[in-house]
């Protein structure tokens, strides 16, 4: 492991020890964040899978109703029946924070409180299959919006998990070992300097004693 380019002094070693403690604390916090993000991400993925299966089945059923309606109605009649919608549905977008990730919150907003306004046509010249198709789509709308919300949240959380994972790995496999190796190197250098100093002092003492005896 490469060591940092620092002066091997006690002051520097004390500074590095404090930085090592901070790095280990940050490493633990990031691991906890990653684990919690993963837990919530898995929950969203499971909900996404369940909801997607439900939506795909409902869309297949709705498509079947439209096909059946097209079989008993002319294309011109079918198209004109769906041209003038009396109800407009919008989507309000807000956000919530999950472990420092701002994920979207979608909610549908209808401009007409009358449930009958979902049918943009009269019932005299249309097929009941068309009614079923329109009702199915209307009932499916909240699930479609929720599915879009979940999939966007999963995308954002996956990106944050990857960023957090890289930071955890950098601290765990690069920064913390580098701090530890540098601290060990400085400690060895200080011990070596202490031994050299003691050796020099002993030699000086021997020289002084020898000189004193010669007197």
At residue 113, φ and ψ (nearest 5 deg) are -80, -15
CA dihedral 162, 165, 167, 173 (to 10 degrees): -140
Segments making up each domain of the chain, as ranges: 10-207
Q: What is the pLDDT of residues 104-155, one digit of tens each?
A: 998 877 655 555 556 565 555 566 677 777 788 878 888 999 999 999 999 9
Domain 10-207: which topology? Answer: Helix Hairpins (1.10.287)
Nearby residues of 96 by Cβ (< 8 Å), 6 or more positions away: 102, 103, 105
Distances (CA, A) of 140 to 49, 58, 59, 134: 16, 7, 8, 10
What is the spatial distance between Cα 62 and Cα 36, in angstroms, rounded to a whole number? 38
Section 191-207 average pLDDT: 78
pTM: 0.74
The more confidently predicted of residues 194 and 36 is 36
In terms of Cβ atoms closer than 10 Å to its own Cβ (0-12, 13-18, 19+), residue 175 is middle
Q: What is the pLDDT of residues 148-160, one digit of tens each?
A: 999 999 999 999 9
Q: Which two tokens stand for residue 51?
A: 């909801």
């Amino acid at each position: 492991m490469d060591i940092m380019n620092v002066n091997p002094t006690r002051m520097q070693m004390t500074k590095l020890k404090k930085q090592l403690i901070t790095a280990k604390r940050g490493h633990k916090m990031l691991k906890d964040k990653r684990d919690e993000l993963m837990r919530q991400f898995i929950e969203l993925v499971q909900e996404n899978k369940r909801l997607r299966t439900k939506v795909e089945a409902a869309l297949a059923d709705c498509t079947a109703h439209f096909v059946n309606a097209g079989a008993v109605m002319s294309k011109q009649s079918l198209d004109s029946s769906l041209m003038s919608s009396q109800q407009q549905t919008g989507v309000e977008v807000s956000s919530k924070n999950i472990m420092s990730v701002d994920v979207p919150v979608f909610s549908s907003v209808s401009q007409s409180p009358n449930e009958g306004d979902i049918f943009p046509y009269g019932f005299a010249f249309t097929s009941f299959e068309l009614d079923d198709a329109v009702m199915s789509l209307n009932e499916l709308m909240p699930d479609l919006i929720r599915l879009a919300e979940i999939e966007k949240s999963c995308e954002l959380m996956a990106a944050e998990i990857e960023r957090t994972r890289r930071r955890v790995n950098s601290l765990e496999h690069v920064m913390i070992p580098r701090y530890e190796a540098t601290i060990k190197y400085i400690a060895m250098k200080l011990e070596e300097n202490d031994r050299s100093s003691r050796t020099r002092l002993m030699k000086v003492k021997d020289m002084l004693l020898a000189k004193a005896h010669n007197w």
